[in-house]
């Protein structure tokens, strides 16, 4: 069942071995990861998602079980995002999982982008269906016939809908838990406006929410920018993105995208309205999504050789309280103090639990909860009891300190905030240390070999991007543009494109990616 | 696109006509339903779900678009249920949509129950899959291999997981929005315990939550009871249910079910644990689910000839405020008063909105919001403004009254509570008026022809239930047991089974059902 594909997280460079089987033994015999993040990233990732109890491998390749420890992170992000879009008057709905072929194929560029990955239902029970039915890879073509029906006049605009659902893309390269899976969970927003200005504004409002999910919740720094013509959403006008970076592999990773679809789908699906002057006009549309990939990016960025490292804001349990009894000490007093600590923290809104299991040693529990990435550990032993204090140990930097019981809530809250901030700062420093500005092809190749996040002046020509892809393809995967950052450094007159030698038009990030 | 199947809601007695097309014209020309609930229930239902903006028909039979007006009801119930099960320490997870054939077929009785309705994916892009893959009709067989892996000792128990997801059952008879659809949304809980006592207790705890969803949220009275051996969950030990009843069609409808699976799946999937004595033991399991069907039951029970009637607790908007300006009146003053009313209500947690559209008359708006089933309408005209009051009109009984502005929140809250209570009381009275106690086959047939909810003494023999089914089958569908109610009337010594004449063992509800 487990361990069918312990590969892929290194971005495709290496094959995998049978990790799941090893785990099953380790669960019985001890703790700790057999792979190191710096030495063998792909194997480390496959191991940490299983040992940290986020994922189980499944007997269908590219499908994974999301365990409660992962699901609770998804739910915390969902609660935030759902409330924010509701403030924006965006409403939730649910469209079917299934798409008929005629509808799926209505927008040509769009279907070309998705067709190779579409899963088809052809049978029910023992009978063949009259017509094969597709499973949604995304819902533009599912939804827009109804937008055409519902939108008649300018008073029907804007129409702003969202759905939380599963989608299926039957990918063949390197399935990786969270990062690249054949079924995944996401939200997809689909909106229609009377004017391009309104659509443009929403694209950025949503992108800002995506930035907040990454930076404020997952403590992962991202770069806001625009995708190249080659990399934009199939059938759309332009795509904005929050891009993350994995220093260990030197790969970029698309964090979430907010697309302006322009009027292309409106044309295909005849989404027209009568404007205020009584004239017929076409709507401007957006679509935007983030997925369970977010969780994988967080794991890759923060995890270490002891296991997961969860930012406090998304951890289902923020504080684990562990009793540390000694032979001749007041064991019941310690257990009571642990229970009281959990009670006090819980009542003040801090997510705390105690591990009272009597068949594991405190040491085993420390390792176990470190593997699961719990932000803060509280230890209570006889000395702590006597001194009316608790010992706290941070997961992010292993720092230990004592907190007096009478300032417990205040201090724990402070430490949790510090952990959240520190995770972000460290990740940001690491990412920034990887940024390399290059101006020539030679510098570019050198930076690439050093796993840098490459920022280069570019002529912005599609043919040049294609040629860069062609010249870099190989076992490690081709290099492409990640995004052109909104925050553009100065581009002095006469700067040339690193790849074509033509006049540069903008700065763009380049790299291999997930 | 629309109107492909305006049938089914009458329970299969009649065929359907093309309702969707009619709607499209009506949207332009006027309001009101063309079918009456008492005269033509199936057509009425198909029309009201579309006109009330809950559903759009879809170009794949048995699939429906859930519009925001329906989705928000689902979300309100979900918020309640999810919080309640979390209090019970049940955790959310997410298992894959896809099942491999070997796993699906592991439990024989179970797969026999579902096999004819399973949808199969056989292709991705243009390639055939090596092995066809099933789409989950329910997730017992998806999940339980992992329960076997995760559960080792008694400290791993209980294991209590839940997931919110879509499932697919490719049914062929009478697809009906919400009630019987090929894809639907649900939660499915799957739990494992060390003892039967714990499992038994949870079955009833969950059933009580289902009762609360129906009675406290949807204002629909239900009967708690146990399913017969013939009607229980395939592969389980016993099934408990909350059964609702639709007076207009005289049909029962299974509201939600909470199953004790016993140890049957544990045996098949080898879910064993070491108990406190160090002996190997098998777990006791439950599974339980409620679906978007709940919404359909609510519509059938409360809806009327003016459209939907939503209980305040589940209505996305509880109060609609409509300005009623007159030619020479202070229009701006009226609009301001409407906005202020919405603000005051919203701030106190009442879900209120104003309809300021200037291209519709107040009368049109009244009909529109009645169609959508908004519990309470507030009208504000010049007289109301002068008298510092608002006019309120209840959706459930059309009662009108004036409320002084200075007791707005208090009075509106009172009226909303009354509406919620009244909907439940009226539905309960109607249901109880339909209950008919029968003691012989002749009485049974007569009650059946009168669309009664039949309560009869039964010998509790499977062969007798099969024979009742056989003797009543026909165009209207066969009669079966709905449930044996927990609340059993007295069964005097010597009472005979209405169908077999053998000694009766219990009272049971009988009827045609959805």
Would you call B183 an interface residue with chain A, using a CB distance cutoff of 8 Å? yes
* Contact yes or no for B149 and A359 at CB 8 A: no
Distance (Å, rounded) from C-alpha A47 to C-alpha A37?
10
| Chain A residues near residue B182 by CB distance under 8 angstroms | 98
Please name the helix (run of DSSP H) or strand (run of DSSP E) that holds residue A480, with its range, or none. strand A480-485
**Would you say residue B173 has pLDDT above 90?**
no
Query: Residue with structure tokens 């109804």?
Result: A146
**Would you say residue A79 has pLDDT above 60?**
yes
Which residues in B227-373 belong to E strands, given as ranges?
238-246, 251-262, 272-274, 280-282, 284-291, 319-323, 352-354
| Chain B residues near residue A125 by CB distance under 8 angstroms | 115-118, 170
**Would you say residue A112 has pLDDT above 90?**
no
* Contact yes or no for B149 and A56 at CB 8 A: yes
pLDDT for position A30: 54
> Residue A497 — very low, low, confident or very high, per pLDDT cuts 50/70/90?
very high
- B420: tokens are 């919620």
Overall average pLDDT of the A125-132 stretch: 94
The number of angstroms, rounded, from the C-alpha of B209 to the middle of its chain's C-alpha atoms is 13
> Residue A14 — very low, low, confident or very high, per pLDDT cuts 50/70/90?
very low
pLDDT for position B21: 38
| Chain B residues near residue A130 by CB distance under 8 angstroms | none
Would you call B185 an interface residue with chain A, using a CB distance cutoff of 8 Å? yes
pLDDT digits (tens, 9 = 90+) for B57-114: 999 999 999 999 999 999 999 999 999 999 999 999 999 999 999 888 887 888 888 8
**Would you say residue A19 has pLDDT above 70?**
no
Overall average pLDDT of the A135-161 stretch: 96
Would you call A95 an interface residue with chain B, using a CB distance cutoff of 8 Å? yes
Find residues 55-94 of chain B whose CB sits inside 8 Å of chain A. Answer: 56, 58-60, 63-68, 71-72, 74-75, 91-94
Determine how many CB atoms are found less than 10 A away from the CB of residue A423. Answer: 25
Would you call B117 an interface residue with chain A, using a CB distance cutoff of 8 Å? yes
Overall average pLDDT of the A234-245 stretch: 96
Supply the ipTM of this predicted assembly: 0.94
> Residue A4 — very low, low, confident or very high, per pLDDT cuts 50/70/90?
very low
Residues 6+ apart with CB under 8 A from B348: B409, B413
| Chain B residues near residue A103 by CB distance under 8 angstroms | 59
Handedness of CA B451, B453, B455, B459 (dihedral sign): positive
| Chain B residues near residue A66 by CB distance under 8 angstroms | 93-95
- A450: tokens are 């050093």
Contact (Cβ atoms closer than 8 angstroms) between residue A451 and residue A431: no
> Residue A261 — very low, low, confident or very high, per pLDDT cuts 50/70/90?
very high
Residues 6+ apart with CB under 8 A from A431: A221, A245, A247, A453
Determine how many CB atoms are found less than 10 A away from the CB of residue B166. Answer: 17
pLDDT for position B114: 86
Distance (Å, rounded) from C-alpha A45 to C-alpha A40?
9
pLDDT digits (tens, 9 = 90+) for A283-327: 999 999 999 999 999 999 999 999 999 999 999 999 999 999 988
Would you call A346 an interface residue with chain B, using a CB distance cutoff of 8 Å? no
Overall average pLDDT of the B156-175 stretch: 94
Q: How far is A282 from chain B (nearest CA, A)?
A: 20
Contact (Cβ atoms closer than 8 angstroms) between residue B287 and residue B189: yes
Would you call A132 an interface residue with chain B, using a CB distance cutoff of 8 Å? yes
Distance (Å, rounded) from C-alpha A311 to C-alpha A376?
10
Contact (Cβ atoms closer than 8 angstroms) between residue B174 and residue B7: yes
Would you call B29 an interface residue with chain A, using a CB distance cutoff of 8 Å? no
Contact (Cβ atoms closer than 8 angstroms) between residue A276 and residue A155: no
Reduced to 3 states (helix: H, G, I; strand: E, B; else coil), residue A190 is: strand
pLDDT digits (tens, 9 = 90+) for B320-347: 999 999 887 789 999 999 999 999 999 9
Choose the closest CB to B359 out of A115, A117, A155: A155
pLDDT for position B259: 98
pLDDT digits (tens, 9 = 90+) for B4-58: 344 445 554 433 333 333 333 333 345 789 999 999 999 999 999 999 999 999 9
Would you call A120 an interface residue with chain B, using a CB distance cutoff of 8 Å? yes
Choose the closest CB to B63 out of A96, A145, A170: A96
* Domains and their CATH numbers in chain B: 41-302 (3.30.930.10), 319-431 (3.40.50.800), 438-512 (3.30.110.30)
Mean pLDDT computed over every residue of chain B: 93
Overall average pLDDT of the A489-514 stretch: 97
pLDDT digits (tens, 9 = 90+) for B422-445: 999 999 999 999 999 999 999 999
Q: Which conformational region is residue B252 in: left (phi greater than 0), alpha (psi within -120 to 50 degrees), or beta?
A: beta
Task: Tally the residues of chain A.
Answer: 514
- The answer, yes or no, to whether the previous bond of A158 is cis (omega within 30 of 0) is yes
Distance (Å, rounded) from C-alpha B106 to C-alpha A143?
37
Find residues 285-324 of chain B whose CB sits inside 8 Å of chain A. Answer: none
Reduced to 3 states (helix: H, G, I; strand: E, B; else coil), residue B367 is: helix
The residue of chain B with its CA nearest to that of A165 is B165
> Residue A475 — very low, low, confident or very high, per pLDDT cuts 50/70/90?
confident
Would you call A159 an interface residue with chain B, using a CB distance cutoff of 8 Å? no
The fraction of chain A above a pLDDT of 90, given in percent, is 88
**Would you say residue A12 has pLDDT above 50?**
no
| Chain B residues near residue A147 by CB distance under 8 angstroms | none
Question: How many contacts, defined by CB atoms under 8 Å, are there between A and B?
Answer: 145
Q: What is the 3-state secondary structure (H, E, C) of A225-292?
A: EECCCCCCCCCCCEEEEEEEEECCCCEEEEEEEEEEEECHHHHHCCCEEECCCCCEEECEEEEEEEEC
Phi, psi of A69 (to 5 degrees): -65, -30
């Amino acid at each position: 069942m487990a361990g069918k594909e312990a590969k892929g997280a290194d971005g495709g460079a290496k094959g995998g071995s049978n990790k799941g089987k090893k785990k099953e033994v380790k669960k019985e015999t001890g703790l700790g990861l057999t792979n190191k993040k710096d030495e063998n990233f792909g194997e480390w990732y496959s191991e940490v998602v299983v040992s940290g109890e986020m994922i189980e491998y499944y007997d269908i390749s590219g499908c994974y079980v999301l365990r409660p420890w992962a699901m609770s992170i998804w739910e915390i992000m969902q609660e935030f995002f759902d409330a924010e879009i509701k403030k924006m008057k965006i409403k939730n709905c649910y469209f079917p999982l299934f798409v008929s072929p005629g509808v799926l194929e209505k927008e040509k560029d769009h279907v070309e982008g998705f067709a190779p990955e579409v899963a088809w239902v052809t049978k029910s029970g023992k009978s063949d269906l009259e017509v094969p039915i597709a499973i949604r890879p995304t819902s533009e073509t599912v939804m827009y016939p109804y937008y055409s029906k519902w939108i008649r006049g300018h008073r029907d605009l804007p129409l702003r809908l969202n759905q939380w659902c599963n989608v299926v893309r039957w990918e063949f390269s390197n399935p990786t838990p969270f990062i690249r899976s054949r079924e995944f969970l996401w939200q997809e927003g689909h909106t229609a406006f009377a004017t391009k200005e309104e659509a443009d504004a929403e694209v950025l409002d949503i992108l800002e929410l995506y930035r907040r999910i990454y930076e404020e919740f997952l403590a992962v720094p991202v770069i806001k920018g625009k995708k190249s013509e080659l990399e934009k959403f199939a059938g759309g006008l332009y795509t904005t993105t929050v891009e993350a970076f994995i220093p260990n592999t030197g790969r970029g990773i698309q964090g979430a995208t907010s697309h302006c679809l322009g009027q292309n789908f409106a044309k295909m699906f005849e989404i027209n309205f009568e404007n205020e002057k009584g004239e017929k006009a076409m709507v401007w549309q957006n679509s935007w999504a983030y997925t369970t990939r977010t969780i994988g990016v967080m794991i890759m960025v923060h995890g270490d050789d002891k296991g997961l490292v969860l930012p406090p804001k998304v951890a289902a349990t923020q504080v684990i309280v562990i009793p540390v009894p000694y032979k001749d000490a007041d064991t019941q007093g310690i257990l009571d103090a642990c229970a009281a600590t959990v009670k006090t923290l819980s009542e003040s809104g801090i997510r705390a639990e105690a591990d009272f299991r009597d068949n594991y040693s405190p040491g085993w529990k420390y390792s176990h909860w470190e593997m699961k990435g719990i932000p803060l550990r509280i230890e209570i032993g006889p000395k702590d009891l006597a001194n009316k204090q608790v010992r706290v140990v941070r997961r992010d930097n292993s720092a230990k300190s004592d907190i007096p019981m009478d300032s417990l809530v205040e201090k724990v809250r402070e430490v949790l905030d510090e952990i959240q901030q520190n995770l972000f700062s460290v990740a940001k420093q690491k990412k920034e240390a990887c940024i390399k500005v290059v101006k020539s092809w030679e510098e570019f190749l050198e930076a690439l070999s050093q796993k840098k996040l490459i920022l280069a002046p570019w002529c912005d020509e599609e043919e040049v991007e294609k040629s860069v892809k062609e010249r870099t393809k190989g076992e490690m995967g081709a290099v492409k543009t990640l995004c052109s950052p909104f925050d553009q450094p100065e581009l002095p007159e006469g700067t040339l494109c690193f790849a074509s030698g033509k006049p540069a038009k903008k700065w763009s990030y380049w790299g291999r990616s997930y």
